[in-house]
Amino acid sequence: MEEYTMDTNLRSQIEAWFAAHTEEYVADLAKIVNIRSVSDPTSPVAPFGQGCRDVLDKMLEIGTGYGFQAKNYDYYVGSLTSPGKGEGTVGLWGHLDVVPEGDGWEHQPYNMTREGDVLFGRGVSDNKGPALVGLYALRCLRDLGIELQNTVSLYLGTDEEKGMSDVTWFREHYPLPDCSIIPDSGFPVCYGEKGILEGSLVSAKALSGDILEMGGGLVSNMVPDKAYVVLKESAALFQKLNAISAPFTVEREPGKVIIRAEGQAVHAAFPYNGVNAIHLLTQMLVASGIATPADAEILNFATAVNNDVLGTALNIACEDEVSGNLTCVGSLLSMKDGKLCLGFNVRYPVTADGDAIRASILNTASENGYTLEKVRDSKPAYVPKDSPLVTTLNGIFNQITGEEREPYTMAGGTYARKLTNAVAFGPGGLETPDNLPEMGGAHQHDEGVYLPSLLQAALIYTMTLVALDGVKLK
């Protein structure tokens, strides 16, 4: 396939358009960031709670206000469409649900703020900001009078963070585009995503009455930064509390003692720089002698699971040349009927066998006095590196940035794994200045995004839609 050559005059027009509409973009982004939209499949407001309904309504309202065709697919997914002159179809897929805000924010998570060129708020980078960029790319092309052959639809999901049941439902009821681009990763093109295996390890035996309650973590796909245990008050316990210090805190209440552990949250797909608070807690309970020998036996396996992020204790460590090594995070801690429950999040290589990994976890858990429950396996995503879709997108990125980057694979999970002929493409990974205000990344407190990077991504996406007009999509 002949490489697409970028029209530099068109590039200048697009850059000028986004410069003229930056403040409108910021104002529109605040409208959706300020809505708390944590997906809740258990909510009586189907399918994912009132917040997800509200944010989808608002986004579709913004899109129809700019003249695009809106459709609401029973609040699982929404779409805004720009019709083309031909038969080809392209999908841009963003999600409007967010992970819980957690603690430790200096900025308000649901009242978007701006410090210079940095925007703060839950979802500004993951994924409300990029989703809105998709709408503005369509608006830019229309305002500049550029008519595409392909029909382009911006699809807006509402359950990406909790398992992508939104898109699973959509593909069971509606046809998919010829190709799809997901702005929910880093540039350039991600042509492969590791499989994601989640489940819960449950101790066969109950903990003793000394441990009244345990908890930790917010969602499966986050290295937990907080965990706690509630212990029955006793004289022997008080003697052991004196040796406890940071990162632990101790609270005393009538008849009980609460110990909290604090770690560092990061995305479970990239766990290496995180500090797992659940691991800190279970390890401390045994090392300090607070746990009885019987409880220590139960806690030791939970601790071992988190001793590294490679899955060693579960006998599932592996790697391949395409996507690297497996990672494993024990990310959720709870108790049920006195039994310890450790939820885990495994990211396995694109060429690995998810069924074999599941079987290994089951066998290892059984050998250590645990059962395996609530298993969910999201199979890997893969589009050949030399496919027209990958080479076109990667070429556009390199022409615009002047770089020579290669397509890559990752451990993160995007809608690409639920779609066909789909790749993740930005908007992260662009250069930013060193003197920016301190901000958190996706799933962290004080989530922030550098506005000029979003605008550069908008240019890349807009030029990409033009370039795809000359590509055989199927």
Domain ranges of the chain: 8-194+381-470, 195-378
Q: How buried is 141 (Cβ within 10 angstroms: 0-12 exposed, 13-18 middle, 19+ buried)?
A: buried
Side chain identity, residue 441: G
Residue 456 tokens, joined: 């550069």
Report the interhelical angle of 128-143 vs 451-467 (nearest 10°). Answer: 50
How confident is the model over 254-269, as a mean pLDDT? 95
Residue 307 tokens, joined: 């001793």
Q: What is the pLDDT of residues 162-184, one digit of tens each?
A: 889 999 999 999 999 999 999 99
Residue 321 tokens, joined: 């040349």
Parallel/antiparallel/unpaired status of strands 422-425 and 189-193:
antiparallel
123 secondary structure, DSSP code: T
176 secondary structure, DSSP code: P
Measure CA 400 to chain center.
27
Cα separation, 80 vs 152, in Å, equals 9
Q: What is the pLDDT of residues 209-220, one digit of tens each?
A: 999 999 999 999
Find the helix or strand (DSSP H, E) in which 270 lies.
Answer: none
Q: What is the pLDDT of residues 332-346, one digit of tens each?
A: 999 999 999 999 999
CA angle 323, 325, 326 (to 5 degrees): 110
Answer yes or no: is pLDDT of 10 > 60.
Answer: yes
Residue 412 tokens, joined: 């993160």
Answer yes or no: is pLDDT of 290 > 80.
Answer: yes
CATH ID of 195-378, from 1.10.238.10, 3.30.70.360, 3.40.50.300, 2.60.40.10: 3.30.70.360
> What Rg value do the Cα atoms of the chain yield, rounded?
24
Beta carbons within 10 angstroms of residue 425's beta carbon? 32
Beta carbons within 10 angstroms of residue 191's beta carbon? 28
Name the fold adopted by 8-194+381-470. Answer: Aminopeptidase (3.40.630)
Q: How confident is the model at residue 472 (pLDDT cuts 50, 70, 90)?
A: confident
Closest CA to 367 of 421, 294, 431, 315: 315
Q: How confident is the model at residue 2 (pLDDT cuts 50, 70, 90)?
A: low
Where do the H-state alpha helices sit in 368-450? 388-401
The model scores a pTM over 0.85: no
Are 419 and 91 contacting, i.e. CB atoms less than 8 angstroms apart?
yes
- Asked if the domains 8-194+381-470 and 195-378 are classified in one and the same CATH topology, the answer is no
Are 195 and 354 contacting, i.e. CB atoms less than 8 angstroms apart?
yes
Residue 231 tokens, joined: 């212990």
Question: How many residues are present in the chain?
Answer: 474
Cα separation, 274 vs 295, in Å, equals 26
264 secondary structure, DSSP code: B
Residue 415, SS3 per DSSP: helix
How confident is the model over 268-288, as a mean pLDDT? 96
